[in-house]
Chain A
Amino acid sequence: MPQPPEDVSRGRPARQSPAESLRVRVLKRVSPRFTLDVDFLAPAGITIVFGRSGSGKTILLNCIAGLVRPDAGFIVVGQTYLFDSERHIDVPVRRRALGYLFQQPALFPHLTVEQNVRYGLSGLPAEVQEQRVKEALESLRVAHLRPSYPRRISGGEAQRVALARALVTHPRALLLDEPLSALDEGTKSGIMSDLRAWVASQPIPVLYVTHAPREAYALGENMVILEEGKILAQGIPQQVLSAPRFETVAELAGFENVFDATVVAQHEAHGTMTCRLDGTDLCLEAPLIPLAGSSRVRVAIRAGDILLAKAKPAGVSARNIVPAKVRALESRGVTLVAHLDAGLPFEAHLTPSARQELGLDAGQDVWLVIKTYSCHLVR
């Protein structure tokens, strides 16, 4: 639990310990139909806040930054209360000592890169400013842009400068609102690895908001899933995303195949159960989970977890071997999406070379091979 607050009115306090954490409990009624209601702890390191647009991600960051005032709750970074509705603490935005990166770099267009980065350091002695600016510009590899104006640099460079401008103030926590969503993969991963390096040397909590599952997998040690203003799940990304307990999580994490089903048999000795997909006779074997009274479930399967075979395979460990017909093949970047009909529409992914070897084409009969543990159950 958070400790009593320190006096923040004297300006930016020195960091208490090398690894502070950010504790957030916020209730904010945004509209009659939308309330943000979250409670989580972000340790030092990168925490992904994952949710689709409209899930309340930006409002959450704005509450933490102080740009939006929560109705109730508290926000504590390290030992310092930034907000506490019960004790009427509401530290103004400029005294919160946080770094915030918006979706656009928001560099001041009339100031050079150097002046932008120096902006948050006013009041510090000139030598300290110079040293910090140098350190931040070099850490983000933008030292050569020092005298340039923002309109003369690229989008990736601009976000690097914006990141330098935020980090140079040695913020107590860093808030990133999809800052890299507009950049290409290479630029993005370069910036992320530089950010990681910085966070490793000066551990602070970093909240990284995104709606892209790929970023969520690649970046985070810790993850919070937000849906309609509520936290659905929290943990390490692989846990949170690959063992969904909720339908919405399954959808969020990119499960292409989601079916309503009824549990028709439970095999406790084998740790499995048989689920019949609604509207078909198709039965899939799935891991046994407690049913809590209802035999209605949803089965979620990733398109990448489905194997295709031209002949009925024998001697494989997978328990689900289902006949299907190829309806269409659609190329999506380097992957090929097979739309299949097994009584219900299925989607499977394969590589173009696999397709060639199989000689796969629309109209053909194939077999779908699905492992028991690739069938994720959602109550």
Chain B
Amino acid sequence: MNWDAVILSLKLASVVSGVLLLAGLPVAYWVAFSRWRWKFLVESVVALPLVLPPTVLGFYLLLALGPRSPLGQLCERLLGHGLAFSFQGLVVASVLYSLPFAVQPAAAAFALLDPTLLQASSVLGASRWRTFFRVILPLSASGVVTGVVLSFAHTLGEFGVVLMVGGNIPGITQTVSIAIYDEVQALNYQGANATALFLLTFSFLVLSLTYAMNRRVWAVWPLRH
């Protein structure tokens, strides 16, 4: 079994779900509560990774992160290397790719809250922040946890985007799924099986744990109001 790849994948998934917990909540809040008339456009952009083939997303990310793009050049200057084919690049790509999995469950939970609770909170003198942390977040905890776990699991299992953006550099960008692909290409079925079985078991455990803690029917999409 390829432990380097397993550890790299777990590291990537942890960083990505951490970033998505911080970045996904404001997006989910906005999606749930904004009354902007063009909101549906933003919702569509957030949901794009659900329908796009990973290669399409990966291709454009590669262009955006590459050394000729402004973003790539900025990183070149800041980090000393470009984003493409680096761990940081993988994080950026995975965050975008898993965004809907973090945003949708949280936004759905926010939208299901009784609006009078939020009104009651403001009438009682609470700021938006206080309302968010004292009322919205505790009452939507299951949705937020679901989002984090799903983005963790999704990142753990992604293949196409990682291959496009990160390539296949052992210890740097070679994740579990790519390691398995590699081993199959090398006809090392036993090694592939060990890693695949590990991934299968691990994903099943994580999901069972989430569902057990959070026995509610949820939908990743569409978001119901």
The chain A residue with its CB closest to the CB of B117 is A106
Contact partners of A109 in chain B: CB under 8 A: 139
Minimum Cβ distance to chain B for residue A288 (Å)? 50
Minimum Cβ distance to chain B for residue A57 (Å)? 16
Contact partners of B124 in chain A: CB under 8 A: 94, 119-120, 165-166, 169
Contact partners of B122 in chain A: CB under 8 A: 67, 92-94
Which B119-144 residues have C-beta < 8 A from chain A?
119-127, 130, 134-135, 138-139
Question: Is B185 part of the contact surface with A, judged by Cβ < 8 Å?
Answer: no
> A169, B125: Cβ atoms under 8 Å?
yes
> B123, A99: Cβ atoms under 8 Å?
yes
> A106, B125: Cβ atoms under 8 Å?
no
The chain B residue with its CB closest to the CB of A110 is B138
Minimum Cβ distance to chain A for residue B119 (Å)? 6
> A94, B125: Cβ atoms under 8 Å?
yes
> A94, B119: Cβ atoms under 8 Å?
no
Which A104-119 residues have C-beta < 8 A from chain B?
104, 106, 108-110, 119
Question: Is B116 part of the contact surface with A, judged by Cβ < 8 Å?
Answer: yes
Which A71-109 residues have C-beta < 8 A from chain B?
92-100, 102, 104, 106, 108-109
The binding surface of chain A is classed by DSSP as: loop
> A94, B117: Cβ atoms under 8 Å?
no
Minimum Cβ distance to chain B for residue A60 (Å)? 15
> B138, A120: Cβ atoms under 8 Å?
no
> B126, A106: Cβ atoms under 8 Å?
no
> A102, B119: Cβ atoms under 8 Å?
yes
> B116, A94: Cβ atoms under 8 Å?
no
The chain A residue with its CB closest to the CB of B123 is A100
> A94, B139: Cβ atoms under 8 Å?
no
Which A311-365 residues have C-beta < 8 A from chain B?
none
Instruction: Tell me the complex Cα distance, A122–B121, Å.
Output: 12
Contact partners of B125 in chain A: CB under 8 A: 12, 94-95, 97, 120, 122, 169
Instruction: Tell me the complex Cα distance, A119–B127, Å.
Output: 12
> A94, B127: Cβ atoms under 8 Å?
yes
Instruction: Tell me the complex Cα distance, A97–B135, Å.
Output: 19
Which B72-92 residues have C-beta < 8 A from chain A?
none
The chain B residue with its CB closest to the CB of A11 is B125
Minimum Cβ distance to chain B for residue A254 (Å)? 30
Instruction: Tell me the complex Cα distance, A97–B123, Å.
Output: 7
Question: Is A65 part of the contact surface with B, judged by Cβ < 8 Å?
Answer: yes
Instruction: Tell me the complex Cα distance, A166–B124, Å.
Output: 7
The chain A residue with its CB closest to the CB of B126 is A94
Minimum Cβ distance to chain B for residue A250 (Å)? 34
> B135, A108: Cβ atoms under 8 Å?
yes
Instruction: Tell me the complex Cα distance, A110–B113, Å.
Output: 12
Interface size class of A (residues with CB under 8 A): 20 to 34
Contact partners of A95 in chain B: CB under 8 A: 125
Partner of B130, one of A100, A108, A122: A122
> B114, A110: Cβ atoms under 8 Å?
no
Contact partners of B123 in chain A: CB under 8 A: 65, 67, 93-94, 96, 98-100, 166
Minimum Cβ distance to chain A for residue B130 (Å)? 7
Most chain B beta carbons < 10 A, residue from A12, A94, A100:
A94
Partner of B120, one of A92, A100, A110: A100
> B139, A110: Cβ atoms under 8 Å?
yes
CB contact under 8 A between A67 and B135, given known A94-B125, A106-B114, A122-B130: no
Which B136-155 residues have C-beta < 8 A from chain A?
138-139
Most chain A beta carbons < 10 A, residue from B123, B125, B130:
B123
> A108, B117: Cβ atoms under 8 Å?
yes
Instruction: Tell me the complex Cα distance, A120–B125, Å.
Output: 6
Minimum Cβ distance to chain B for residue A69 (Å)? 13
Minimum Cβ distance to chain A for residue B18 (Å)? 25
Instruction: Tell me the complex Cα distance, A95–B122, Å.
Output: 9
Minimum Cβ distance to chain B for residue A163 (Å)? 12
The chain A residue with its CB closest to the CB of B122 is A93
Instruction: Tell me the complex Cα distance, A100–B114, Å.
Output: 16
Instruction: Tell me the complex Cα distance, A106–B113, Å.
Output: 11
Instruction: Tell me the complex Cα distance, A109–B114, Å.
Output: 11
Write out, one digit per residue, whether chain A residues 126-170 have a CB within 8 A of any chain B CB (1) or not (0). 000000000000000000000000000000000000000110010
Instruction: Tell me the complex Cα distance, A370–B37, Å.
Output: 60
The chain A residue with its CB closest to the CB of B114 is A106
> B120, A106: Cβ atoms under 8 Å?
yes
Contact partners of A122 in chain B: CB under 8 A: 125-126, 130
Q: Enumerate chain B interface residues (CB-CB to A < 8 A).
A: 114, 116-117, 119-127, 130, 134-135, 138-139
Task: Add 10 more A-B contacts to A94-B126, A119-B121, A119-B126 (CB < 8 A).
Answer: A67-B119, A67-B123, A94-B125, A95-B125, A100-B119, A102-B116, A102-B119, A104-B116, A106-B117, A108-B121
Q: Enumerate chain A interface residues (CB-CB to B < 8 A).
A: 12, 65, 67, 92-100, 102, 104, 106, 108-110, 119-120, 122, 165-166, 169
Sample (20) of A-B pairs whose CB atoms are under 8 Å apart: A67-B119, A67-B123, A94-B126, A94-B127, A95-B125, A97-B125, A98-B123, A102-B120, A106-B114, A106-B116, A106-B120, A108-B120, A108-B139, A110-B138, A110-B139, A122-B126, A122-B130, A166-B124, A169-B124, A169-B125
